[in-house]
């Protein structure tokens, strides 16, 4: 067994601020939708502890504040529990969907006919007679303070945005958020970013920003028109691992699984949110300057004396691009789905720009000279990600996933738009960056960079079978504790298949265009709630068994 990544059990039990990536966010749009649901005349409203007795049938939709709501009978419509628990007892049924906000769900998820979604963050609200008014949802952070006004709401926040990594250290975000209006508010969100990569140093290079002005449209925040100005450091390919997992791996094991680049510029965007259907779509025009960035010197718990892994170069310079995206999400639970679909489409068209990359030239001495090489800014990038979740029985579930990422035509992509395969986030039977089309075959150049990141195209297929050994078991509940890590033990069997490649015209000095055939791996694991312990091995080529730890679902 060759490595352990990327969590420790003790820290896995802690709710780090960076954990928000896999947790469904309680957005202002959703908060307003929940308030509208509660305020509808046709909704049955409950307050405090309530029990629907065995054999009782409650017609229509139900909304509860405070809870817990114990369902031993039948609810024919949808159920929303605000700031309390939903408990479906044996024999109880919810024929519609169920949403739990600021509480927990207990019982058999199969007793809920529609989608089951839990939002850990409580809903901030105020009562006006029999109605409720949703206030601006709080955000996970180190410190937040705010107040409502006759014109809207103001908040001042200090939080962590993103993951602890070798380039930024801990990205601490602070600044105000001001909202004017109610159903179609105007929002000013000014966030300033302080990076701890060099310790507590005050220098312009350690600061970034993200300033947004948004106008909600269409009534009840159904659409958002926005303008942003930003100076950020972003991961090149964040897919696969969550912010929490990457943070723990970087902090504990001195192993950052991501590479990064700088973005400075502005964007204008239009975003649509489905109020009655599970979709989100958007369109954005961006005018940015991209740049490469070296690792900093953040502290890690283990192996702190070792140097950090080198960064790749990106195509530097000005870029104007058009981006579009679409999400369709019918999963019954966003944290641990058993049924439903998740389909995502992200497309980007480079319009114009002045991009170039430095590569090693020809020479007799070492280090070799670096020469500038032009990179086309008129590229097309596309990412398709489709996931299907199926319940095969009371104890068995299957998850399937297919991903395409890269250039849909024969054009080359700049390094910051390339992708790789291998490692815990995609094919854990192989090393991280195992399939990078030779980007790391050579040593870093004279300035300490790899000249490429990965491949122009990637295809990944994944399948996972999970079987519950002790349904409903919870060590936390048996000990009288409120945590959900050691719950419902499950045996996991999985396999992954993938290929990543480039065309000859975009290879540069690289001799590898990527594998000509698909590679496979397979593995098994034990899931205990959010904590998963796995082993994986390659089914082709030479390799070693990999033991690794994940937080949350693999797919």
DSSP letter for each residue of 278-292 = SEEEEEEEEEEEEE-
Q: How far is CA 157 from CA 113, 154, 177, 208, 342, in A?
A: 39, 10, 8, 16, 32
Q: Is residue 496 one of the residues assigned to a domain?
A: yes
Instruction: Identify the pLDDT of residue 480.
Output: 60
User: What number of other Cβ atoms are within 10 A of residue 207's Cβ?
Assistant: 12
pLDDT at residue number 16: 35
Do 4 and 549 meet the contact criterion of CB atoms below 8 Å apart?
A: yes
CB-based burial label for 127 (10 Å; 0-12, 13-18, 19+): exposed
**Residue-level pLDDT at 382:** 96
Please report whether residue 122 resides in a domain.
Answer: yes
- 352 CB-contact burial (10 Å; exposed 0-12 / middle 13-18 / buried 19+): exposed
CB under 8 Å to 201, separation ≥6 — which residues?
Answer: none
Report pTM. 0.76
d(CA 180, CA 175): 17
Q: Could you give the CA distance from residue 537 to residue 354 in angstroms, rounded to a whole number?
A: 43
Q: How many domains does the chain have?
A: 2
CA distance from start to end of the chain: 23
Domain carrying residue 403: 332-350+380-555
Tell me what pLDDT residue 6 has: 35
What's the pLDDT at 145?
63
Of 158, 128, 150, 164, give the one whose Cα is nearest residue 38. Answer: 128
The predicted structure's pLDDT at residue 461: 97
- Please report whether residue 141 resides in a domain: no
Q: What is the pLDDT of residues 59-113, one digit of tens each?
A: 999 999 887 899 999 999 999 999 888 999 989 999 999 999 888 888 888 889 8
pLDDT in tens, 401-453: 999 999 998 888 999 999 999 999 999 999 999 999 999 988 898 889 988 89
- Can you point out the beta strands (E) in 135-259? 143-149, 152-160, 171-180, 186-195, 207-217, 223-235
CA 231 to chain centre: 21
pLDDT at 410: 81
Domain assignment present for 386: yes
Spatial CA neighbour of 55 closest among 69, 72, 79, 75: 72
pLDDT of 483 = 55
51-82: burial string, b at 16+ Cβ within 10 Å, e else: bbeeeeebeebbbbbbbbbbbbbbbebbbbbb
Total number of residues shown for the chain: 555
Would residue 186 count as lying in a domain? no
- The reported pLDDT for the residue numbered 286 is 97
Domain with 384 in it: what CATH number? 2.40.160.50
pLDDT at 68: 86
553 part of a folded domain: yes
Answer whether residue 126 is part of any domain: yes
Per-residue tens of pLDDT for the chain, all 555 residues: 333 333 333 333 333 333 333 346 677 778 888 888 999 889 999 988 889 999 999 999 999 988 789 999 999 999 999 988 899 998 999 999 999 988 888 888 888 988 888 887 788 777 777 888 887 665 555 566 666 666 777 878 888 888 899 999 999 999 998 888 766 789 899 999 999 887 777 777 889 999 999 998 876 667 899 999 999 999 998 878 888 899 999 999 999 999 999 999 999 999 988 765 678 899 999 999 999 999 998 989 999 999 999 999 999 999 999 999 999 988 877 777 888 899 999 999 999 999 999 887 776 667 778 888 888 999 999 999 999 999 888 889 999 999 999 999 888 899 999 999 999 999 999 999 999 999 998 889 888 998 889 999 999 999 999 998 876 666 666 666 555 556 778 999 999 999 999 988 777 778 788 888 899 999 999 998 788 999 999 998 777 899 999 988 888
Task: Summarize the chain as % helix, strand, coil (round to 5).
Answer: 10, 45, 45
- Final residue of a structural domain among 85, 116, 132: 132
Residue that is last in its domain, among 69, 98, 132:
132
459, part of any domain: yes
The last residue of a domain, from among 80, 115, 132: 132
């Amino acid at each position: 067994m060759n490595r352990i990544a990327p969590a420790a059990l003790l820290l896995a039990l802690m709710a780090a601020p960076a954990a928000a990536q896999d947790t469904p966010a309680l957005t202002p749009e959703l908060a307003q939708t929940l308030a509208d649901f509660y305020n509808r005349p046709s909704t049955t409203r409950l307050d405090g502890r309530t029990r629907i007795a065995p054999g009782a049938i409650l017609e229509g939709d139900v909304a509860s504040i405070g809870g817990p709501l114990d369902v031993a009978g039948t609810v024919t419509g949808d159920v929303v529990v605000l700031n309390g628990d939903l408990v479906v007892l044996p024999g109880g049924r919810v024929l519609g969907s169920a949403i739990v906000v600021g509480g927990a769900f207990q019982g058999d998820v199969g007793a809920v006919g529609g989608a089951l979604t839990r939002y850990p963050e409580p809903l901030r609200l105020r009562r006006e007679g029999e109605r409720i008014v949703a206030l601006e949802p709080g955000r996970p952070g180190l410190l937040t303070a705010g107040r409502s006004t006759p014109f809207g709401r103001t908040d001042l926040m200090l939080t962590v945005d993103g993951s602890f990594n070798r380039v930024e250290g801990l990205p601490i975000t602070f600044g105000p958020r001001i909202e004017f209006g109610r159903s179609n508010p105007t929002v000013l969100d000014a966030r300033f970013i302080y990076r701890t990569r060099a310790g507590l140093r005050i220098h312009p290079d350690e600061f970034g920003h993200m300033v947004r002005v948004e106008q909600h449209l269409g009534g009840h925040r159904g659409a958002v028109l926005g303008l942003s100005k930003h100076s950020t450091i972003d991961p090149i390919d964040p897919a696969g691992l969550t912010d929490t997992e990457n943070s723990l791996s970087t902090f504990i094991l001195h192993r950052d699984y991501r590479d990064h680049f700088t973005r400075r510029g502005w964007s204008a965007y239009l975003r649509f949110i489905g109020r009655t259907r599970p979709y989100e779509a958007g369109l954005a025009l961006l005018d940015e300057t991209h740049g490469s960035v070296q690792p900093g010197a953040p502290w890690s718990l283990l192996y702190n004396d070792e140097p950090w892994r080198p960064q790749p170069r990106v195509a530097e310079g000005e870029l104007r691009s058009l981006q579009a995206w679409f999400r369709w999400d019918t999963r019954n639970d966003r944290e641990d789905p058993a049924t439903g679909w998740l389909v995502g489409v992200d497309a980007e068209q480079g319009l114009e720009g002045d991009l170039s990359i430095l590569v090693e030239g020809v020479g007799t001495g070492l280090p070799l000279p670096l020469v500038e090489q032009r990179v086309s800014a008129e590229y097309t990038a596309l990412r398709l990600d489709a996931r299907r979740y199926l319940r095969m029985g009371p104890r068995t579930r299957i998850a399937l996933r297919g991903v395409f990422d890269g250039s849909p035509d024969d054009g080359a992509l700049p390094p910051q738009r390339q992708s790789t395969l291998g490692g815990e986030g995609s094919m854990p039977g192989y090393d991280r960056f195992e399939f990078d089309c030779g980007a790391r075959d050579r040593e870093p150049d004279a300035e300490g960079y790899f000249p490429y990141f990965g491949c122009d195209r990637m295809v990944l297929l994944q399948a996972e079978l999970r079987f519950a050994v002790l349904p409903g078991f919870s060590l936390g509940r048996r000990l009288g504790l409120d945590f959900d890590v050691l719950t419902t033990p499950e045996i996991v069997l999985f396999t992954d298949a993938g290929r990543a490649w480039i065309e000859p015209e975009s290879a540069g000095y690289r001799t590898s265009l990527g594998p000509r055939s698909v590679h496979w791996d397979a593995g098994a694991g034990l899931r205990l709630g959010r904590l998963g312990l796995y082993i994986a091995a390659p089914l082709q080529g030479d390799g070693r068994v990999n033991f690794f730890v994940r937080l949350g679902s693999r797919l």
